[in-house]
Homo-oligomer: A and B are copies of this chain.
Amino acid sequence: MSGRRLEVVDDDALSCTPLSREALSEHEAVDVARVFAALSDPVRLRLLSLVASGDEVCSCDLEGPLGKSQPTVSHHTRVLVEAGLIQGERRGRWVWWRAVPERLAQAAAILAP
């Protein structure tokens, strides 16, 4: 099965109203918190910056710079995918990761108008 996409399935609405605009509903807060939780780990931030600063990055090029085991890297990529922050595409044996700039912009828009 080549070229299959690995991307987030669930709703990617992410109410884009800035925090300073009006109070978040309980439901919105849970959604937004999920994204920031994905960004709340140093290893994931560095992983994301590696992916976002390059065009496409293979998982095998992540273990080294991150200094983490393969299962740990796989865990973190999964969290970032579920948050909609990165997408992965399997080509042959490798999975190539790339960032989702729109999602990063959404999260940023919530913090600052």
Contact = CB atoms under 8 A, between A and B. Distances in A.
A46 B23 contact: yes
Interface residues of A, number: 36
The quantity of this chain's copies bound in the complex is 2
Contacts of A104: 19-20, 111-112
Given A45-B29, A46-B24, A107 B101 contact: no
A23 B54 CA distance: 9
B39 A33 contact: yes
A105 B111 contact: yes
B53 A30 contact: no
A49 B112 CA distance: 12
24 contacts: A19-B45, A19-B48, A19-B49, A20-B49, A22-B49, A22-B53, A23-B49, A23-B53, A24-B46, A29-B42, A29-B45, A29-B46, A32-B42, A33-B42, A36-B37, A36-B39, A36-B40, A39-B40, A104-B111, A104-B112, A107-B111, A107-B112, A108-B111, A109-B112
